[in-house]
Amino acid sequence: MSVADLASPHGAASRNSQAPTCAQSAHLVSRSHTMSDLTSSHVARSTAAPQAAGLGLKPLVRRFRPSFATRKSWVQIPPAPLNALIRAILGRSKRRWLSTIGDAPRHRCPTGSTAEHLYLCEVLRRTGFVLRLEDPRFDLKFFKEWIAGWDVSSLLFLRGLQHVQLVDLDKRQVVGDRGVSVSKPKRPTVSIPNVTEVEQVTLTDVASTRAWTRYTTRYPRPRQMRATHKRWAKWFAYK
Amino acid sequence: MGEMVRLQIAIPRRPERSRIFVGLPLEEESDLPFSVSAPFDPNVDRTHLRDHNKLNEWLIARIGDLASAVAVARFEEQPRQGWWAFTLMWQRWRSAGLFIPVVSRAG
């Protein structure tokens, strides 16, 4: 796994001002093997049910748009807020970013790593995003409450991400933890037309006794049925 | 036929609120006893499913195939937990406020 440093969420905005000062820092660590789940979508915080809060940086931007990131920097590029954030802040292409994550040898820190990176890589042995935040509202307490706000069931159907921790790197202490442990897959005898196999796994909340049995299968999709955004993408490609 | 699509259901060990996911959860209401995930066609802000959408209708039908087959398998393997994969009609009525329990005893 590798460690990625998001230099400053204000990146685009701060380019116009003086050199950014790292007043605040928060550290999100995840057992993520790919970036696909984090970059794929968003989940908005549901006002009807507090437990229905989801995963993603979009809720942060919705609530604190003026100070968290400027509209110009990345808000305009849903539904991939983190991906857009990365591109806006670091100026890197998606391909380069993903290849950095995907191709990095496990448990090996990139060259030029700081002590924080080494701690994340070698001690925790997890993918980490070190967020240095300038706005005083986005402190460790804020992220602690943010992580506590989302329900662990948000992780049920993510392929690469099963565990997210918030780490106080100054104290070397985990202050927020949401995750599920996944059992070895089984092949139950389930008969469905046009389906060859079904996979069954048990997901258990690391912090409680909640558990789910997840069944996965694959169907051949009729060619004429496509999601609207994919149909548009194809149309624009022909144009 | 087009590409293969991944359909998933997650049945909780104890009954709890279910949700509809497109990888991550939507704000769509669901009274199913399990959560479902499929590459549905959501609206632009990815909070609800698009109505009258052929892809969504087809995926929901396939989810139904998977759920019914899983329910049968669970009845064979774990008969006590088999019911947890079912939505009973009276549960829907009760959640809609239409179910009024009536107990009558002769004599």
The type of residue at B10 is A
Task: For residue B94, give how far its alpha carbon lies from the nearest alpha carbon of chain A (Å).
Answer: 20
Same domain for A84 and A138? yes
Token pair for A85: 């954030």
Token pair for A43: 């989940």
pLDDT for B44: 82
Three-class SS state of A168: strand
**Could you tell me which of A3, A55, A79 has the C-alpha nearest to residue A163?**
A55
Same domain for A101 and A129? yes
**Which residues of chain B does A212 touch, with a Cβ-Cβ cutoff of 8 Å?**
10-13, 35
Q: Is the CB of A211 less than 8 angstroms away from the CB of B1?
A: no
**Could you tell me which of A90, A83, A93, A123 has the C-alpha nearest to residue A1?**
A123
Give the whole-angstrom CA distance, residue A12 versus residue A142.
23
For A29-54, how does the pLDDT look when each residue is reduced to its tens digit (9 = 90+)?
A: 444 333 323 322 222 222 333 333 33
CB neighbour list of residue B31: distance below 8 Å, 6 or more residues apart: B18, B87, B91, B92, B95
Q: Is the CB of A210 less than 8 angstroms away from the CB of B14?
A: yes
Vertex A151, ends B70 and B20: CA angle to 5°?
45
| B35: pLDDT strictly greater than 90 | yes
CA atoms within 13 A of residue B51's CA, in its CB half-sphere: 0
Which of B24, B53, B70 is closest, CB to CB, to A42? Answer: B24
Last residue of a domain, one of A164, A179, A194: A179
Q: Quick one: which H or E segment has residue A166? A: strand A161-168
Token pair for A128: 């980490």
Task: For residue A104, give how far its alpha carbon lies from the nearest alpha carbon of chain B (Å).
Answer: 25
Three-class SS state of A88: helix
Same domain for A20 and A96? yes
CA atoms within 13 A of residue B13's CA, in its CB half-sphere: 11
**Could you tell me which of A5, A214, A59 has the C-alpha nearest to residue B38?**
A214
Where in chain B are the domains? Answer: 8-95
Give the whole-angstrom CA distance, residue B96 versus residue B107.
33
Over range A75-104, report the average pLDDT: 35
| Structural domain count, chain A | 2
pLDDT for A13: 32
| pTM of the model as a whole | 0.62
Give the whole-angstrom CA distance, residue A43 versus residue B22.
10
Same domain for A155 and A194? no
pLDDT band for position A214 (cuts 50, 70, 90): very high
**Which residues of chain B does A211 touch, with a Cβ-Cβ cutoff of 8 Å?**
12-13
Last residue of a domain, one of A141, A161, A179: A179
Integer Rg of chain A from CA: 19
**Which residues of chain B does A42 touch, with a Cβ-Cβ cutoff of 8 Å?**
24, 46
Has the ipTM of the complex gone over 0.90? no
Contact of A8 with A107, CB cutoff 8 Å: no
Least confident of A149-158, A216-225, B75-84: B75-84
Token pair for A112: 């030029």
Q: Which domain holds residue A120?
A: 3-179
Same domain for A217 and A110? no
Give the whole-angstrom CA distance, residue A62 versus residue A44.
9
Same domain for A145 and A31? yes
Same domain for A69 and A119? yes
| A179: pLDDT strictly greater than 50 | yes
Three-class SS state of A162: strand
